[in-house]
């Protein structure tokens, strides 16, 4: 089978290496395509092998290859976490799925390959009528935002939600989930195209961080609606933007610490949190599989039902083949993605961007 291998740590956006064995020593890329990689065997009676149709790029996959993520897998490894595809083989004790079923899931590693094996308990059936490629982009981005907003913050229709990095993978998920919960949703993103897209999702107010002062602009909007401030801050960006937007938070507000796409870990002053009765939630979604697997399962099931009903839509701005993975990582690094970037496994064509 075909698989993307990370053979050393480094920037995966440089030109991709030739297939294993040929010139990989001299290439500057830390990733290469292995064309005859062994197909993974079923490793237990309840194991399922999935033929991957599409797999998504998350900022974490990029950080992992750079060596800057909290998880540090042993080299070489096949990166990739969330995916969707068709059941290809099942172990003798599998009861939930049969060959040909459409499923999606996420793994610690290994989805940037033609096949992946996981236990049946970790797979979700993709409802009939839902696009299988879109389902590949749901687990991590929507799963993270759903656990954060619904399970941790208990977001409701009397609250104001502020989403930073709102046009990125988790951001687009957060604004849509915010609207499903009935909250007033404010989004921050960079550039006219992202702003236009967020408006098309029904976001109540969008700030373009390239040419607007974020705090002044949000304050003006809040005033125009007779709203006091922000109740829930969804923050996958960190750095200066967090520092600025903390000025907008209400008494009793909640801060969801999701990530640091800016590269800067923000400081949240404990004295201000005390005086203003803030709650700070650190959220590491992947660790729910170990510590709260039932929450994670309920969350993905609810999201798939929302997808089926059309309450949320997966926006895919770029798709690439596996051998174009460096370009896929560039779209993330260069902040070009609006929604999700995907790798299509059974597609041999060239770069397709909707931008």
Ligand X SMILES: NC(=O)c1ccc[n+]([C@@H]2O[C@H](COP(=O)([O-])OP(=O)(O)OC[C@H]3O[C@@H](n4cnc5c(N)ncnc54)[C@H](OP(=O)(O)O)[C@@H]3O)[C@@H](O)[C@H]2O)c1
- In the bound state, the residue with its beta carbon closest to ligand X is 168
Cα separation, 335 vs 260, in Å, equals 14
The whole-angstrom distance between residue 37's C-alpha and the CA centroid of its chain comes to 27
47 or 303: whose CB is closer to ligand X? 303
| DSSP-derived secondary structure letter, 17 | B
Q: In the bound complex, what is the minimum distance in angstroms from residue 100's beta carbon to ligand X?
A: 31
Q: In the bound complex, what is the minimum distance in angstroms from residue 191's beta carbon to ligand X?
A: 7
CA dihedral of residues 165, 70, 3, 50 (deg, nearest 10): -80
Contact 222, 229 (CB under 8 A): yes
Alpha helix locations (H) across the chain?
Answer: 59-66, 132-135, 139-146, 169-180, 192-200, 214-224, 239-245, 270-276, 288-291, 293-309, 325-333
Q: In the bound complex, what is the minimum distance in angstroms from residue 314's beta carbon to ligand X?
A: 13
Q: In the bound complex, what is the minimum distance in angstroms from residue 207's beta carbon to ligand X?
A: 10
90 or 187: whose CB is closer to ligand X? 187
Q: Are strands 230-235 and 316-321 parallel, antiparallel or unpaired?
A: unpaired
34 or 61: whose CB is closer to ligand X? 61
58 or 319: whose CB is closer to ligand X? 58
Question: What crossing angle do the helices spanning 139-146 and 169-180 adopt, rounded to 10°?
Answer: 50
Q: In the bound complex, what is the minimum distance in angstroms from residue 122's beta carbon to ligand X?
A: 17
32 or 208: whose CB is closer to ligand X? 208
Using CB under 6 A as the criterion, which residues of the chain lie in contact with ligand X when the complex forms? 58-60, 140, 144, 165, 167-171, 189-190, 194, 209, 236-237, 258-263, 283-286, 332, 335, 337
């Amino acid at each position: 089978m075909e698989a993307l291998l990370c053979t050393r740590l480094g920037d995966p956006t440089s030109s991709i290496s030739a297939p294993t064995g040929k010139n990989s020593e001299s290439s500057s890329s830390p990733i290469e395509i292995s064309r005859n990689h062994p197909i993974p065997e079923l490793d237990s009676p309840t194991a399922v092998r999935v033929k991957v149709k599409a797999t998504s790029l998350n900022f974490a996959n990029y950080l992992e290859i750079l060596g800057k993520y909290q998880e540090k897998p042993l080299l070489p490894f096949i990166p990739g976490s969330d995916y969707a595809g068709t059941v290809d083989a099942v172990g003798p004790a599998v009861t939930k799925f049969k060959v040909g079923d459409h499923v999606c899931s996420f793994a610690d590693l290994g989805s940037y390959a033609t096949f992946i094996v996981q236990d049946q308990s970790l797979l979700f059936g993709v409802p009939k009528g839902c696009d299988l490629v879109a389902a590949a982009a749901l687990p991590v981005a929507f799963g993270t935002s759903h656990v954060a907003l619904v399970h941790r913050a208990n977001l409701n229709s009397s609250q104001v939600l502020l989403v930073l990095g709102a046009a990125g993978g988790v951001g687009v998920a957060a604004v849509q989930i915010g609207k499903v919960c009935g909250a007033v949703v404010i989004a921050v993103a960079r550039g006219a195209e992202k702003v236009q897209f967020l408006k098309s999702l029904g976001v109540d107010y969008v700030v373009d961080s390239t040419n607007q002062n974020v705090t002044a602009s949000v304050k003006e909007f809040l005033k125009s609606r007779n709203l006091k401030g922000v109740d829930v801050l969804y923050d996958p960006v960190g750095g200066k933007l967090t520092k600025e937007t903390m000025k907008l938070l209400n008494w009793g507000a909640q801060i969801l610490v999701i990530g640091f796409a800016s590269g800067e870990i923000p400081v949240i002053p404990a004295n201000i949190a005390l005086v203003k009765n803030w709650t700070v939630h650190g959220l590491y979604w992947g660790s729910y599989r170990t510590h709260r697997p039932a929450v994670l399962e309920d969350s993905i099931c609810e999201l798939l039902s929302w997808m089926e009903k059309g309450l949320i839509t997966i926006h895919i701005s770029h798709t690439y083949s596996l051998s174009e993975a460096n370009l896929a990582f560039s779209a993330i690094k260069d902040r070009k993605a609006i929604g999700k970037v995907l790798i299509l496994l059974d597609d041999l064509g060239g770069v397709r961007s909707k931008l």
